Chains A and B, each alone.
Chain A
Amino acid sequence: MTNALTVIALLLTAVTATTAALTREPVRQAVVLAFLGLCLALLFTVLQAPDVALSQLGVGSAITPLLILLTVRRVRRQEQADEHPDRTE
């Protein structure tokens, strides 16, 4: 049973990681990265590494997406500012 669980978690991780690398648009990629965080946490738990899974949950599902989205938000705001120099957001 554990083997089956490991294989499932590994497959989920591989598929999500591949998609994350292939997703071109940063916001969509951020969602996929959050997914990747979940899959990795699942994999780590199956591999009996709860401490690591806890870290991954914190970093993968909260911190990294927040960082990426804040970056994108700043970048977008700049784009708007460049297009309409007299108006923001």
Chain B
Amino acid sequence: MNTADLLPLAVAVPLLGAAVLAVTGRRLPRPGRDALATAWAAADVACLTLLWARTAPDGRAVSWLGGWSPRGGHSVGVVLVADRLGAGLALLAAVLVLAVVCYAWRYFDEPSGEHGGVFPALLLLFEAGMVGFALTGDLFDAFVFFELMGAVAYALTGYRIEDERPLQGALAFGLVNSAAAYLSLLGIGLLYARTGELGLAQIGAALDQHAAAGHGRDALVVVAFVLVLAGPLVKAATAPFHFWLPDAHAVAPSPVCMLLSGVMVELGVYGVARIHRVVFAGAGGLPDDAVRDTLLAAGVLTALVGAVMCWPQRHLKRMLAFSTVGHIGLFLIGAALLDPAGLAGSAVYVAGHAGAKAALFGLTGVLLDRYGSVDEHGLHGRARELRLTGLLFVIGALALAGLPPFGTGLGKAVAEEAAGHWGGWLPAVFVLVSALTGGAVLRAGLRVFGGLGARPAEDPEAAATTGEGEEPEIREPGRRPPVPMLLVPALLLAGCLAVGVLPGVGRALAAGAAAFTDRDGYLAQTLGGAPAPAGAAPEAWWTVPGVLLGLLSTLLAVGLATAAVRRAPGRDTSGLFRVTVLPLRRLHSGLLGDYIAWLTVGLAAMLAALTAQL
């Protein structure tokens, strides 16, 4: 089989699988459905692994759909382009879907009969959306697959209809993300008006020609940039577009959370980086400095908001969701450096984070399964009996904090080093965010699984979401955790470790990052020219400062967690906490109107920032 044919196949396989499951699902017994879904997810993993293996480390696989290969640099078709980062992210999505399907074998109280097979079918559609978004080289096609993963994700988030909170979270998710997607489409319309093209490479080339023809930089490009990136930035939960994320991720079924936090949000960052690089990084686009400053500011803000909001959470899934916000900020910082090293760091970080975060959500699912609660305070000490689960949870927390040699630690180290070149204070952000998010999760782990410290007192002032009274996701509470529910998180953590231990992974992603930032190569290879050799791949391996900073953030996390656990209950909160955290928490009001208002504010801020720097 041709390498280029693997690209559309990777999207078509899950789509076909969804149709087959929807038709046969109601006629098959539960194990048959599970087997079918697993087989299909595995087939796509195989397809994408083959694609990854066959993509040259510094090159791309290009597939013009419908056979509309370009003539004279022009085509009327849609193109799929896979480089190592795109294919790698698609592969990550496929692997996580496979993990989730296996995790849900014994877990999910899936309605049978008329609706049998619908849940795995939706998962496969979700996979098709993510893979399509990661592989496409066409702006409108990206919008379509963006909406595909969005629409399916709204339905999956609101899956537990007997509880009000999933519905509310799904609605906020749906409204905010759809509004952002339409803003993106407006931006696509502006770009089409200027260039008359839809392919990323073609738009980029046409913008450059426009500039070469003597037209200066103008506001149109700025507005188009901001609008087009609105969709991916909202999907990536960049502050102040992040409000929907904790609402949705806290309440979605645990297997779905594994996908949402593990890879869907990261796809938003990927979309930002890809669209900026191919479309706007040329002479007709925006100056790198302006973009770097704007995105760095957004990344730092996101990281800090996520970390600060993560710490006081008591609802475990909401805590994990805010930690995702924090880490997304870090990924965005890495990508915003606009150099291969930062991107390589983010790529490794994303791979490691996916394993750790998905594992943590999976383990939280065990708690929900057994105790019908994910409340840190309510579960205090109750899960002592689940030793293995507790051990895995603590390992996951340490991985989140950036403990070497986990993949998260490696990614953090590489990104930190790259960021250090641009601003000496940026590594401090990485350490602080890792420590706060890892520390919060560790604190929860120590309390819930270890029963350490006294039971925390209630704080009447905090507008908190508790984790009590969750609808359990299965119908037999109190059973032993089924094997897949522990095996899958364990394997995911092992994967996180492997990313940091196997030198091949980092090297491949670093080469992929070099290819990713090679804009001329992308344009040439997509539009049918001869690609020039890409620049040298950055180093993506452990260094002494990286290990030390990783240990530092882990130590900080452990220190924070133990301090919090040891603290006497009922002691007054400090003044600093009152002036920083409480107002920030109040902003997370759960109100839809606020979210849309913040969306507009974010757009206005980006417009102002970019225009000022032009």
Task: Check A-B contact in the complex, CB < 8 A.
Answer: no
